Amino acid sequence: MNPQTTGKTIRPAEIRAMKQRGEKIVVLTAYDASLAAQLEQAGVEVILVGDSLGMVVQGHDSTLPVTMEDMIYHTRNVARARRRALLVTDMPYRSYTSAEQTLENAQRLIEAGADMVKLEGAGQVARFIEWLSQANIPVCGHLGLLPQSVEELGGYKVQGREQAAADKMVEDARALQAAGAEMIVLECIPMSLAGRITEAIDIPTIGIGAGPGCDGQVLVSYDLLGLTAGKRPRFSKDFLRETAAGQGIQEAIAAFVEAVKQGRFPTEEHAFK
């Protein structure tokens, strides 16, 4: 029975079952109640309160200035409109530097209405994920381009093109799964590597700039609606202009949902080799 038709809130187990059934998972960002309601109406399975709000809402050059208070505020706004979608919230920069801090901040986001929290990276992060899982806090991992580590990475660049880096990312994905992660976002990596990771783990992969081989796809809603100032990321698509032909926001979101479900987005045009 589909939770989208019963009104039942989607849980992590259902997202994993979608991977097992080969059904594509649709994820979009929201930062307020109005947009969250639009995503709900279109049947989006996962709503992400992303720290991307630092750039598209607050006007910063990166996600680094975003605070816990910002994430709590926006999570509460989205949670008020959420009915069925799984609600995932990013833990912002430097909000998970120790076990105690990670647990405390994750609990604050859960209390604000999140069903799951998302952490970037591997290594020590895998241990944090294990501790959160033991505390019954569902976690989403994030590998590839890590916006919170953009300065260390030398900018917004495709990750995992070298064989050693690709092999390590596969092992990192396995480690995050072993630690208890419920799903993993793969950002800006070669589509062949994304496919390899997707096959290597049992939990869903959600791609953004990772090609069509992932179990699901996520975009920043502002990119999808053509609202983002400046140059739009290569891996995104303005569904309002290019697909919905200016019909309206709801039609653009529905077009994205349908394109992901039918495997028509992303194409190689929106991926990296």
CATH code of the domain in which 130 resides: 3.20.20.60
Does the structure show a pLDDT above 70 at 246?
Answer: no
- For 174-190, write each residue's pLDDT tens digit: 999 999 999 999 999 99
Residue 183: how many other CB atoms lie within 10 Å: 29
Provide the whole-model pTM: 0.95
Please check whether residue 219 is in contact with residue 208, taking contact to mean a CB–CB distance below 8 angstroms: yes
The type of residue at 69 is E
Residues paired with residue 141 on neighbouring β-strands, in sequence order: 184
Does the structure show a pLDDT above 60 at 202?
Answer: yes
- Quick one: pLDDT band at residue 154, thresholds 50, 70, 90? confident
Whether 121 is covered by a domain: the verdict is yes
- Show the tokens assigned to 158: 């495709």
Residue 208 parent element (H or E): strand 205-208
What is the span of the domain harbouring residue 258? 3-265
Does the structure show a pLDDT above 90 at 244?
Answer: no
- For 117-127, write each residue's pLDDT tens digit: 999 999 999 99
Please check whether residue 71 is in contact with residue 91, taking contact to mean a CB–CB distance below 8 angstroms: yes
Whether 225 is covered by a domain: the verdict is yes
Q: What is the CA radius of gyration of the chain?
A: 17
Selection from 219, 217, 221 nearest residue 198 by Cα:
217
Whether 272 is covered by a domain: the verdict is no
Whether 270 is covered by a domain: the verdict is no
Please check whether residue 50 is in contact with residue 75, taking contact to mean a CB–CB distance below 8 angstroms: no
- Show the tokens assigned to 209: 């700039």
Task: Look at the alpha carbons of 227, 231, 236, 242 in this order and tell me if their dihedral is positive or negative.
Answer: positive
Whether 154 is covered by a domain: the verdict is yes
- Quick one: pLDDT band at residue 151, thresholds 50, 70, 90? confident
- Quick one: pLDDT band at residue 4, thresholds 50, 70, 90? very low
Q: What is the pLDDT of residue 222?
A: 96
Whether 142 is covered by a domain: the verdict is yes
Task: Report the alpha-carbon distance of residue 178 to residue 200 in Å, rounded.
Answer: 12
Task: Report the alpha-carbon distance of residue 11 to residue 136 in Å, rounded.
Answer: 13
Q: Which long-range contacts (CB under 8 A, 24 or more apart) does 150-157 make?
A: 150/62, 150/64, 151/64, 156/188, 157/188
Give the chain's domain count: 1
Catalytic residue numbers read 187
Task: Report the alpha-carbon distance of residue 69 to residue 174 in Å, rounded.
Answer: 32
- Show the tokens assigned to 3: 């939770």
Q: What is the pLDDT of residue 243?
A: 80
Whether 273 is covered by a domain: the verdict is no
Whether 271 is covered by a domain: the verdict is no
- Quick one: pLDDT band at residue 74, thresholds 50, 70, 90? very high
